[in-house]
Amino acid sequence: MTVARAVESLLPDLQILYYGDLARTPYGSKSPETIIDYSITNTEFLLNHGAQAIIIACNSAASVASEILRQKFEVPIFEVISPAVDRAITATHSGNIGIIGTRATVRSEIYEQKIMQKAPELRVFSKACPLLVPLVEEGWIDARETKMILRKYLSPLKQKQIDTLVLGCTHYPLLKNLIQHRMGKKKISLIDSSIEVALTLQRYLNKNPDFNKNLQYGSVSKYFVSDITKAATNTAEKIFGRPIGLIKV
Residues in touch with its own copies (CB under 8 A): 22-24, 29-31, 33-34, 103, 130-131, 133-135, 137-138, 140, 144-145, 148-149, 152, 226-229, 231
Q: How far apart are CA 170 and CA 27, in angstroms?
A: 12
Closer CB to its own copies, residue 77 or residue 135?
135
Closer CB to its own copies, residue 151 or residue 203?
151
3-state secondary structure 5-47: HHHHHHCCCECCEEEECCCCCCCCCCCHHHHHHHHHHHHHHHH
- The angle at the Cα of 196, spanning 204 to 33, to the nearest 5 degrees, equals 95
Nearest-approach distance from CB 28 to its own copies, in angstroms: 10
Nearest-approach distance from CB 119 to its own copies, in angstroms: 30
Query: How many of the other CB atoms lie within 10 Å of CB of 54?
Result: 21
Crossing angle, helix 2-10 and helix 230-240, to 10 degrees?
Answer: 30
Active centre residues (catalytic): 58, 169
Nearest-approach distance from CB 135 to its own copies, in angstroms: 7
Nearest-approach distance from CB 103 to its own copies, in angstroms: 7
List beta partners, residue 55: 78
Closer CB to its own copies, residue 104 or residue 195?
104
Length reported for the chain: 249
Closer CB to its own copies, residue 10 or residue 148?
148
